[in-house]
């Protein structure tokens, strides 16, 4: 179980209570945070994030390399599996299918400034 984040802050109900999420919503939120963080950049948890070093938009194996790095970065997200369905070098995005608790959702990851 995790607290829902919205616009960079903790989401609250109209009564001021925290909104809790679990299962697929929690896995998607955790992966979104992980994919947005370059590995080693968060000083309180140096292992959090994705190692984007050495990746190039001109690499014909970009999708496969991203998938391996995303899978490594998501290994700590209990019960979640990630698969890159598309890497779009022109728009600097990757589409990632996240599966958890028998459900799946596609998430678009912005690669701008990372590759």
pLDDT at 113: 87
Summarize pLDDT for 88-112 with one digit per residue, the tens. Answer: 999 999 999 999 999 999 999 999 9
Summarize the confidence of residues 54-59 as an average pLDDT: 94
Domain boundaries, the chain: 25-110
**Per-residue pLDDT at 115 exceeds 90:** no
Q: What is the torsional sign of CA 9, 92, 71, 52?
A: negative
pLDDT at 75: 94
Name the token pair of 93.
Answer: 């995005």
DSSP 81-111: EEEEEEEETTTTEEEEEEEETTEEEEEEEE-
> Does CATH number 1.10.3720.10 belong to domain 25-110?
no
Mean pLDDT of the chain: 95
């Amino acid at each position: 179980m995790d607290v829902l984040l919205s616009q960079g802050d903790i989401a609250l109900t109209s009564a001021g209570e925290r909104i809790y999420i679990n299962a697929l919503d929690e896995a998607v939120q955790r992966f979104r945070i992980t994919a947005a963080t370059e590995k080693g950049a968060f000083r309180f948890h140096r292992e959090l994030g994705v190692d984007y070093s050495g990746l190039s938009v001109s690499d014909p194996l970009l999708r496969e390399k991203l998938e391996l790095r995303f899978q490594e970065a998501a290994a700590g997200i209990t019960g979640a599996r990630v698969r890159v369905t598309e890497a779009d070098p022109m728009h600097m995005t990757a589409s990632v299918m996240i599966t958890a608790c028998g459900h799946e959702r596609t998430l678009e990851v912005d690669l701008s400034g990372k590759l």
